Chains A and B, each alone.
Chain A
Amino acid sequence: MALLRTRDVSKKFGGVTALNEVDITVADKEIVGLLGPNGAGKTTLFNVISGFLKADNGRILFEENEIQHLLPYERVAIGIGRTFQHVKLFRDLTVYDNLLVAQHRHLSSGSFAAMLRLPGWRRDEKDARDRVEAILDQVNLRPWAEARPGELSYGTTRFLELACVLSLQPKVLLLDEPASGIQQKEVEALGPMLKRIRDENNCAILLIEHDMSLLLNTAERIYALDFGKVIAEGTPDEVTHNDQVLESYLGRTRRDSVA
């Protein structure tokens, strides 16, 4: 069953076409890769799916429901989680509090309950802290619990961001270049890790990645984008042997010869 589908999604910035009638499908628990040169529209597609940008036209379907009118936080609530190309996080909050903020959607007590320390608030806070404690151990972030994101290595902030997004219990996880800025040794471990994240959280993953070996070894299916258009779709093997893909991204590029 298709979990997430985009239908004829287009987006223009000024005169530039960032997305041109993009149709992609992500099935339940599938790992799908997005391939394409810089400016192909991959991140724009993420922004449109997660609600940070409004598409000019086209539909976005999640579990067969149209969601293009939903706000970002509403899309989180139905199960769409995303990371950013440049890790954001909350710079003034500790690692612990970053993870605590990520528990937001699992909590329900109101502000008055908190002001008066009512039992509902106590229960909520205890649950949230218990979950954060568990996550700290699971992702080995405990030594940094009281540190702020700025004090961590870039790779570690990526894991923190991932832990935050996984706290949302998404059905589909949109990962925007998870390997960028981390060491090659760490990148090699990332592929198996993403597969395990998928297996243990029962979520699909839509992956933007410039590291070719990571993308080809992890994704089960790949869409190749160029100039905002899907130019190829298929298994990693099919896509890497597609002439258009070779020309636009992998091989002797059209752009080089023009330049």
Chain B
Amino acid sequence: MSATATDTAELGLTPEAPASRPRSFIPTRNQLLGLAGLAVISLLPVPFGDFGFFVGQYAAVYAMIALSIVILTGYGGLISVMQYSFAGVGAIITGVAMASWGWPFWIALPLAALATVPVAAVVGMIAVRLKGFYLAIATLTFANALGETLFRWERVTGGQSGWLVERPAIGSLSFASDVPFYLLCLGVVLLLVWMMDGLRTSRIGRAMLAVKDNELEAQALGINVFKTKLAAFVISGIVAGIGGSFLAVLLTSVTPTAFQSPFSEFTSIVLLSLVVIGGINRAIGAFFGAITLVVTQQVFAGAECFYSFVAVYSAAVLILFVLFRPGGLVEVGQRLGALVRWKPVVGIAVILVVLGINIGGSFFFVNAC
């Protein structure tokens, strides 16, 4: 190979080279900034008191389910509109194990996660042979099939009333109230985000990105496309199952209607679009997407007219993101961060203007309604 060095030099390829962008493996300052940002986001519920934590725990749990979309669609390029059904499997199993068998949550949780594996594997084995549009349609029918069978099966779902479950505890430390439960869910989702971020820079994670980008080239470089796609389905299924399990104890009840057709398909699609806003390419994007979801759903749901405005605004934001910032809020955050580092005054001014437009606009419409 060393001979090729001289050859490329002889070929006159070097002079046109753009300026090298240095590659650093210890971006401590950026990581610190990221951690600071994460801390701020984690403390967001504090000024809103009980209501803040109540909403915050929803955000954390939805982030787990949304994270499954990042793995499957963001990493693997596989479009699924049945991720909420995987969460449903996790929730139902948690319900059966806790309410019917009397298991503690900490044993029901891994069972719920594992229970999604066979479902994800079966769906995956069929789905990996399909692409894009056809895959999306197939997962839609799978969601419908699960919604009309498993989630209507009374012995599994506990019938119309579902299962009643209690929030977990570790010894005398109870997660029953909203503040500790929020912290628990936040800890779990950040752990999962960290894990999935690690997956991204690994043999299998890069194989997923490669398969998403160009299947033929991936094969030519020795990647097993079938196995890679199946891994994406199974890992994302497990993550969704964990999310479903936490959803069960968050609501303290598992009601099968939530996972029946068409609600499960609807929720899956809403989650998919919000992950796109959050940033589908990175694990943390699921977290941003889930915050966006609960803020729009929970905070503004009461005000009818304002909710209409939020719906139109969300649609506009989604379209703008897809067109100009396909990396979602993650990409916007990265660009703003770079701007602040480059020109702090301009950067902070831009951030304040963006926040001002959003918050000011909200107040304007709330009053106008």
List the interface of chain A (C-beta within 8 A of B).
Answer: 50-52, 71-73, 76-77, 81-84, 88-93, 96-97, 100-102, 104-105, 107-111, 113-117, 121, 124-125, 135, 137-147, 151, 153, 155-156, 159, 162-168, 185-186, 189, 192-193, 196-197, 200-201
Complex CA distance for A215 and B210, rounded to whole angstroms? 32
Complex CA distance for A78 and B102, rounded to whole angstroms? 53
Complex CA distance for A110 and B218, rounded to whole angstroms? 18
Residues of B within 8 A of A105 (CB): 221-222
Question: How many B residues, CB 8 Å from partner?
Answer: 48
Chain A to chain B contacts (Cβ below 8 Å), 30 pairs: A50-B220, A52-B216, A71-B224, A73-B223, A73-B224, A76-B221, A82-B220, A88-B216, A88-B220, A90-B213, A90-B218, A93-B213, A97-B209, A101-B206, A104-B210, A115-B195, A121-B198, A124-B203, A137-B5, A140-B9, A140-B14, A143-B19, A145-B20, A151-B18, A155-B11, A155-B13, A159-B8, A186-B11, A196-B3, A200-B2
The proximity string for B residues 224-243 relative to A, scoring 1 for CB distances below 8 Å and 0 otherwise, is 11000001000100000000
CB of B217 closer than 8 Å to a CB of A: yes
Residues of A within 8 A of B201 (CB): 114, 125
Complex CA distance for A167 and B220, rounded to whole angstroms? 12
B4 and A138 form a contact (CB under 8 A): yes
B9 and A109 form a contact (CB under 8 A): no
B23 and A111 form a contact (CB under 8 A): no
Complex CA distance for A50 and B220, rounded to whole angstroms? 8
A144 and B203 form a contact (CB under 8 A): no
Q: Which residue in chain A gives the minimum CB-CB distance to B194? A: A115
Complex CA distance for A214 and B218, rounded to whole angstroms? 29
Complex CA distance for A163 and B5, rounded to whole angstroms? 11
Complex CA distance for A77 and B2, rounded to whole angstroms? 23
Complex CA distance for A185 and B214, rounded to whole angstroms? 31
A-B contact count (CB 8 A): 171
Minimum C-beta distance from A75 to chain B (A): 9
CB of B297 closer than 8 Å to a CB of A: no
Q: Which residue in chain B gives the minimum CB-CB distance to A186? A: B11
A102 and B3 form a contact (CB under 8 A): no
Residues of A within 8 A of B95 (CB): none
Q: Which residue in chain B gives the minimum CB-CB distance to A141? A: B8
User: With contacts A138-B5, A151-B18, A186-B11 known, what are 16 further pairs, Cβ within 8 A?
Assistant: A77-B222, A88-B214, A89-B214, A92-B209, A101-B209, A104-B223, A110-B203, A110-B204, A114-B199, A114-B202, A114-B205, A140-B4, A145-B23, A159-B4, A197-B3, A200-B2
A168 and B1 form a contact (CB under 8 A): no
Complex CA distance for A108 and B17, rounded to whole angstroms? 34
Q: Which residue in chain B gives the minimum CB-CB distance to A96? A: B23
A114 and B220 form a contact (CB under 8 A): no
